[in-house]
């Protein structure tokens, strides 16, 4: 038995490779098939199944390209409806894999087709379970994403999730290893642990959702504090159900170098989004006017999805040329397949051309503390609600970055604001977004809340 977790930190996503006797299965693969094909080649195995726990909302799965490359069977849980060749399993159905087997457990609630896959050894003993977005470590899947498709309320879906967990998962052995679809940082849950595997017995002790005394209490606890889902989620579900361009096609189409003149012309196209992938520090010191910074070094793909939202938006890239291919790949993971090209030699070429540049008004944490005491201007904290609730400046207003499309137009353009996140990555995203919308009344704080806190509590 060989089980390998393939964890992608940017998306907080876990895909899984399972193999026995030269037969392999992959659970919830990412968009690009290359890494999975390499594993199969290295191990001399044949891919027999591609198990999908549900139609994912936070990323585009690689099931279609993998099927074309290997001929493997795509398997979904009961009630799934897709626009491509796949098998819709029955609840309890068993799929042999070498000396192992996978049993399908239908667990509706996160979505109606959600399923967990129970791995059994050659003696038929339960060894591990791949829970997708039904059960996380420390949390369960959010039950508010499938309301329209299921024609049910989030409360009804939460009730179904409770029934699924208590009927299908809770009776299983405490020694069972849980392999979840996501970990801490994913927008698919609100209370996930940093670890990426655990036992079911430990989760029965630690997971707040598994320790609710009643179904009603479960529904309330799971729905409490859920923020609106990112705008790109619906687009990803549609791509996972309906199909998409091949990964190879997307890479070839986007990898197109443009001169400064060509880049300027492309910028004039309707709804084009100029995306600067450099670090926030480099960006703050100068950038192409109107461009928005989402640094490749952070949680790049989810923030692209939250900020741009519509996956069909045409995108132009500014950054180091040796990072462009990686950028196009990571954009494709969340369905943004409309890269129109990149600026040859990046921002250096823009500077050399003599074109106008823009800057972020950025100050140190020391300067901020001096100024805010003097002028009493409001402070905007763009961290997540959970971060804000733990500790924040008394004078701070909370406007989380992931909801910026819903709040930027209510900001008073005549009022000056200070803006910060935890360390600077998100506040530069926010400030560059606001400047692209015509707001120039922000001063961003270098080092963010971490730097401020150090000054206020030097012993900590």
Q: Which CATH class is domain 362-456?
A: alpha beta
**CA 188 from chain center: how many Å?**
8
Going by C-alpha positions, the residue among 402, 436, 430 that lies closest to residue 417 is 430
Residue whose tokens read 């791995």: 119
Model confidence at 457, in pLDDT bands (50, 70, 90)? confident
b or e along 401-426 (b: 16 or more beta carbons within 10 Å of the residue's beta carbon)? bbbbeeebeebeeeeebbbbbbbbbb
> What does the radius of gyration of the chain's CA atoms come to, in whole angstroms?
23
Higher-scoring residue by pLDDT: 216, 413: 216
Sorted by sequence, the CB contacts under 8 Å of residue 261 that are 6+ apart come out as none
Query: Is 9's pLDDT higher than 80?
Result: yes
Q: Which two tokens stand for residue 7?
A: 């964890």
Higher-scoring residue by pLDDT: 287, 414: 287
Give 44's strand partners: none
Tell me the pairing of strands 417-420 and 100-106.
Answer: unpaired
Each domain of the chain, given as residue ranges in start order, spans: 2-234, 245-352, 362-456
How far apart CA 206 and CA 138 sit, in angstroms, is 7
Range 146-150 average pLDDT: 90
- Please give the pLDDT value at position 190: 84
Q: If DSSP codes are grouped into helix, strand and coil, which group holds residue 223?
A: helix
Q: Give residue-wise pLDDT tens across range 384-402.
A: 988 999 999 998 999 999 9
- Please give the pLDDT value at position 94: 98
- Could you give the angle at which helices 365-375 and 448-456 cross, rounded to 10 degrees? 80
- Please give the pLDDT value at position 459: 59
245-352 classified as CATH 3.40.250.10: yes
DSSP string over 62-95: -HHHHHHHH-PEEEE-TT---SSS-EEPPTT-EE
Model confidence at 187, in pLDDT bands (50, 70, 90)? confident
How far apart CA 405 and CA 408 sit, in angstroms, is 6
How far apart CA 88 and CA 308 sit, in angstroms, is 33
> Residue 9: exposed, middle, or buried by beta-carbon count in 10 A (0-12, 13-18, 19+)?
exposed
Q: If DSSP codes are grouped into helix, strand and coil, which group holds residue 226?
A: coil
Please, are residues 201 and 175 in contact by the beta-carbon 8 Å criterion? yes
Going by C-alpha positions, the residue among 449, 431, 442, 439 that lies closest to residue 384 is 449
Question: Residues, the chain, total?
Answer: 460
> Does the fold of domain 362-456 match that of domain 245-352?
yes
Q: Give residue-wise pLDDT tens across range 255-292.
A: 999 999 999 999 999 999 999 999 999 999 999 999 99
Q: If DSSP codes are grouped into helix, strand and coil, which group holds residue 256?
A: coil
How far apart CA 29 and CA 23 sit, in angstroms, is 17
- Please give the pLDDT value at position 373: 86
Q: Give residue-wise pLDDT tens across range 74-109.
A: 999 999 999 999 999 999 999 999 999 999 999 999
How far apart CA 82 and CA 321 sit, in angstroms, is 37
Going by C-alpha positions, the residue among 263, 5, 251, 273 that lies closest to residue 119 is 5
- Percentage of the chain exceeding pLDDT 70: 100
How far apart CA 453 and CA 284 sit, in angstroms, is 22
How far apart CA 417 and CA 341 sit, in angstroms, is 35
DSSP string over 362-429: EE-HHHHHHHHHHH---EEE-S-HHHHHHS--TTEEE--GGGHHHHGGGS-TTS-EEEE-SSSHHHHH
| CATH number of the 2-234 domain | 3.60.15.10
Q: Which two tokens stand for residue 229?
A: 């889902």
Please, are residues 202 and 173 in contact by the beta-carbon 8 Å criterion? no
């Amino acid at each position: 038995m060989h089980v390998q977790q393939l964890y992608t930190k940017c998306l907080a996503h876990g895909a899984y490779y399972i193999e026995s006797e030269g037969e392999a299965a992959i659970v919830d693969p990412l968009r690009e098939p290359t890494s999975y094909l390499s594993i199969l080649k290295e191990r001399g195995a044949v891919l027999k199944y591609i198990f999908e726990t549900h139609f994912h909302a936070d990323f585009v799965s690689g099931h279609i390209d993998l099927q074309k490359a290997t001929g493997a069977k795509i398997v979904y849980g009961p009630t799934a409806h897709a626009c491509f060749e796949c098998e819709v399993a029955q609840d309890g159905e068993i799929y042999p894999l070498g000396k192992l087997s996978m049993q399908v457990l239908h667990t509706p609630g996160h979505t109606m087709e959600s399923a967990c896959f129970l791995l059994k050894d050659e003696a038929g003993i339960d060894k591990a379970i791949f829970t997708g977005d039904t059960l996380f470590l420390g949390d369960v899947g959010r039950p508010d994403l499938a309301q329209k498709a299921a024609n049910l309320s989030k409360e009804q879906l939460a009730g179904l999730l409770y029934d699924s967990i208590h009927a299908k998962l809770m009776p299983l052995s405490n020694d069972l290893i849980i392999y979840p679809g996501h970990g801490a940082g994913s927008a698919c849950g609100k209370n996930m642990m940093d670890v990426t595997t655990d036992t079911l017995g430990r989760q029965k002790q630690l997971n707040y959702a598994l320790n609710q005394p009643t179904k009603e209490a479960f529904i309330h606890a799971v729905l409490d504090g859920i923020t609106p889902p990112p705008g790109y989620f619906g687009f990803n579900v549609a791509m996972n159900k309906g199909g998409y361009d091949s990964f190879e096609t997307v890479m070839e189409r986007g990898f197109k170098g443009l001169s400064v003149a060509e880049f300027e012309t492309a910028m004039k196209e309707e709804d084009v989004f100029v995306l600067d992938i450099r670090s926030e520090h480099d960006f703050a010191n100068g950038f192409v006017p109107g461009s928005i910074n989402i640094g490749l070094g952070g949680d790049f793909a989810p923030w692209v999805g939250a900020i741009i939202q519509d996956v069909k938006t045409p995108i132009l890239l500014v950054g180091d040329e040796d990072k462009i291919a990686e950028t196009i790949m990571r954009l494709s993971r969340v369905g943004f397949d409309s890269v129109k090209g990149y600026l040859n030699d990046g921002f250096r070429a823009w500077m050399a051309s003599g074109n106008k540049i823009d800057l972020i008004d950025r100050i140190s944490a020391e300067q901020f503390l001096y100024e805010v005491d003097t002028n009493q201007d409001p402070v905007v904290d763009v961290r997540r609600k959970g971060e804000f609730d733990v500790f924040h400046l008394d004078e701070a207003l909370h406007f989380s970055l992931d909801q910026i499309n819903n709040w930027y137009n209510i900001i008073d353009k005549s009022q000056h604001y200070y803006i910060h996140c935890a360390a600077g990555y998100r506040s530069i995203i926010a400030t560059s977004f606001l400047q692209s919308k015509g707001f120039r009344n922000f001063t961003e704080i270098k080092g963010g809340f971490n730097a401020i806190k150090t000054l206020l509590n030097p012993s900590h």
